Amino acid sequence: MDASRWTPIVAAAALLGGCAYMAERTAPAKQASSTRTEAAQRADALFWKTFHDGDYSGIPKAMDAVKGAYLQAPNDAVSAAHVGFLHVWRIAERARLDAVSPSITDDSALARRYFGEAVALQPSEARYQGFLATTMLAEASIHKDEKLQRRGYYAMLDAVDAWPEFNLFTAGYVMSNQQPDSARFKEGLEMQWRTIDLCGGTAIDRRNPNFSAFMRHETREGPKRVCWNSWIAPHNFEGFFLNMGDMLVKAGDWATAQKVYANAKLSSTYGEWKYRDVLDARIAQAQSNVAAFNAPGRGRASGDAVMMVQSRFACTGCHQQ
């Protein structure tokens, strides 16, 4: 066969490939909207009411409103992020469902897509960065995609650098699903300790982690505002210590976990938190929950306690009013 006959074909293919690459690279990037539509503002109100009410069954209605607003103005970073949040909420609290369909995993892919849009439109928003990284990690876990797993992990580290008070918790929460003897779980637990130190302004005594001395630092301003409760997350403080206690129990350190759980009661709005009974049960059952949190195949079906990240309040534990 005359190899010279193939030379023009190969050259043409290379040229076309180069043209496609250049065409994509030189395409204008989406620009974020400077204003928001009335539909977006109405959808925001429904989104927050649904979320703050803990109305899991209301997700489809809220999703229609928020996605409709996004499609009307696809340059709106907030609407894109709210779509992502709803998909995350639906898959995160799937324990609420009577039966979980395999198609629930589609929410992970869609959440990643919309958080990707939010980050592209508002790259300086570290919260969007953190949630994009978590959805990358979730999707990688579903598809057993090691490349995506590594990309998501390093994207999460970048998000932590951008806003450690927020994304140390975000990263550690995702890692709480790992095996307790794994490097990732241990790293995630360490991230929770680092969050406490950052929020308190100094290293806490890990043998006696009483946060009461640091309550004077409570603020509604600056990067440390996410250490406390807010309108967005009315019980963020309580939810943080519930999850961290769960992680310590899973690691086998149930005695320290009891002290960490107790910090949730320092919140001035603890009496309004809907998961007080859960916390009391956690403290009382910390030792026996070591086995429950580590036993595969147990949990919702058998009536055993499950970690916050696998529960019916994986999101609403912090966000429900």
Tokens found for residue 319: 């966000």
- 290: closest CA among 260, 259, 245? 245
Query: What is d(CA 313, CA 321) in angstroms, rounded to the nearest whole number?
Result: 12
Would the pTM of this model clear 0.85, i.e. be above it?
yes
Three-state DSSP class for residue 124: coil
How many domains are there within the chain?
A: 2
Q: 């439109």: which residue's tokens?
A: 121
* CATH number reported for the structural domain that contains residue 109 in this entry: 1.25.40.10
56 and 195 in a single domain? The answer is: no
Quick check: is 267 in a domain? yes
Query: What is d(CA 78, CA 81) in angstroms, rounded to the nearest whole number?
Result: 5
pLDDT at 15: 61
Q: How many CB atoms are located within 10 Å of the residue 223 CB?
A: 14
Residue 93 near residue 313, CB atoms below 8 Å: yes
Quick check: is 5 in a domain? no
125 and 73 in a single domain? The answer is: yes
Quick check: is 84 in a domain? yes
Of the three residues 162, 189, 222, the one that is the final residue of a domain is 162
81 and 169 in a single domain? The answer is: no
- 227: closest CA among 275, 174, 266, 175? 266
151 and 181 in a single domain? The answer is: no
Of the three residues 117, 146, 162, the one that is the final residue of a domain is 162
Residue 210 near residue 251, CB atoms below 8 Å: no
The per-residue pLDDT string of the chain (321 residues; one tens digit each, 9 = 90 and over) reads 555 666 666 565 556 667 676 676 777 778 888 899 999 999 999 999 999 999 999 999 999 999 999 999 999 999 999 999 999 999 999 999 999 999 999 999 999 999 999 999 999 999 999 999 999 999 999 999 999 999 999 999 999 999 999 999 999 999 999 999 999 999 999 999 999 999 999 999 999 999 999 999 999 999 999 999 999 999 999 999 999 999 999 999 999 999 999 999 999 999 999 999 999 999 999 999 999 999 876 544 445 689 999 999 999 999 999
pLDDT at 9: 62
Quick check: is 24 in a domain? no
Tokens found for residue 287: 């030792």
pLDDT at 301: 43
Quick check: is 201 in a domain? yes
- Ordered alpha helix ranges (H), 53-121: 59-72, 77-92, 106-121
Neighbouring residues of 258: CB distance < 8 A, sequence distance ≥ 6: 245, 283, 286
Query: What is d(CA 87, CA 83) in angstroms, rounded to the nearest whole number?
Result: 6
pLDDT at 34: 82
Quick check: is 10 in a domain? no
CA 238 to each of CA 15, 187, 250: distance values in angstroms, whole numbers, following the listed order: 59, 22, 19
User: What's at 245, amino acid-wise?
Assistant: G
| Dihedral (Cα; 81, 134, 158, 145), 10-degree rounding | -120
314 and 173 in a single domain? The answer is: yes
149 and 124 in a single domain? The answer is: yes
Identify the burial level of 318 via C-beta atoms within 10 angstroms of its C-beta, where 0-12 means exposed, 13-18 middle and 19 or more buried.
Answer: buried
Quick check: is 6 in a domain? no
Of the three residues 162, 187, 207, the one that is the final residue of a domain is 162
262 and 290 in a single domain? The answer is: yes
pLDDT at 296: 79
123 and 215 in a single domain? The answer is: no
51 and 189 in a single domain? The answer is: no
Quick check: is 152 in a domain? yes
- Ordered alpha helix ranges (H), 263-321: 276-284, 286-294, 316-319
Tell me the longest C-alpha to C-alpha distance in the chain: 84
pLDDT at 16: 61
Q: 């949990």: which residue's tokens?
A: 299
| DSSP letter string, 237-268 | HHHHHHHHHHHHHHTT-HHHHHHHHHGGGGST
pLDDT at 146: 96
Domain enclosing residue 147, as ranges: 36-162
111 and 99 in a single domain? The answer is: yes
Question: Which phi and psi (to 5°) does residue 219 adopt?
Answer: -145, 160
146 and 214 in a single domain? The answer is: no
| Dihedral (Cα; 287, 211, 219, 159), 10-degree rounding | -60
66 and 87 in a single domain? The answer is: yes
